[in-house]
Structure 1
Amino acid sequence: MIDERFELPTSAGERQVLETFLEFQRGALVRKCADLDDRQFRSRSVPTSRLSLAGLVRHLAGVERWYFQAVIADAFPGSLFTTFTADFDDVEAATCEATFDMWQAEVETSRRIAAERSLNVVGRHPGTGEQHSLRWVLHHMIDEYARHLGHADMLREAIDGRTGE
């Protein structure tokens, strides 16, 4: 996995700032999982926890799919996993390569959907009908990644002592 860090803009338009911050968070996820073998990638922080780096990456792939495809594009192709918690629970056969390939495909679709729309475009949550603008979704995705990157730091530290950027 390549470390493709970049400078976050200090003075830019709203869309560039939102997209750059989200891309930085996506890149941080890749960095936090770099140089792990599949066993380490699947390992849980403690035996009673469902949390693993594999589960986090799978979860974030599903979140990308949900908010960009289901909410904004109104074109949800279905869930990536058979149950709501399978992204965290069923990681025994997960590999770094296949998991990141799946995540990358969802990210590419999200980027395309966002690029084709104004920040003001509004989509609907398929279950509740609640409306969300693309602007809101970008903010939410930054928040979603930031929260889970804290989990990723703790998981990585338990594996080999590495944390942070």
Structure 2
Amino acid sequence: MADAAVKVVTENRKARHDYFIEETYEAGIALTGTEVKSLRAGKANLKDSYARVENGEMFLFNMHISPYEQGNRFNVDPLRARKLLLHKGEINRLFGKVMQQGLTLVPLKVYFKRGRAKVEIALAKGKKLHDKRDAIAEKDARREMDRALRGKDKNSY
């Protein structure tokens, strides 16, 4: 029932390729009216975006929301820093982990939940080149196994 109310706007598929995901959090985003309209139209991009804590508040940087076409003077900078809405305790906990363990805050997806814009952010650890190669090899092997199993099912009838 709860999943039916979630409409995904955009996903950062590259993040799962470049990082090991440790934990995920859901945060609200402070947006202007025209940004919400652009998001509802699906005009957002999470490529190269990241979150950072500044002065006890969390902000999302480099998230591109295209200007709303009918927005004229009410449009804002597409790459502006956007405030993320989290509890103070969550922000302090995330800030501590980023500082101590050298983790990064990466947005995974933006979606609407019960009419409100949300972003799923993850505490992530960067992958080395050999880790990425291992992940690609594992994915290819899984794909080959699935193909082989599907092929056997078709021949068994």
Q: TM-score, normalised by structure 1?
A: 0.22
Find the structure with the greater CA-based Rg: 2
Quick check: which one's helix share is greater? Answer: 1
Quick check: which one's strand share is greater? Answer: 2
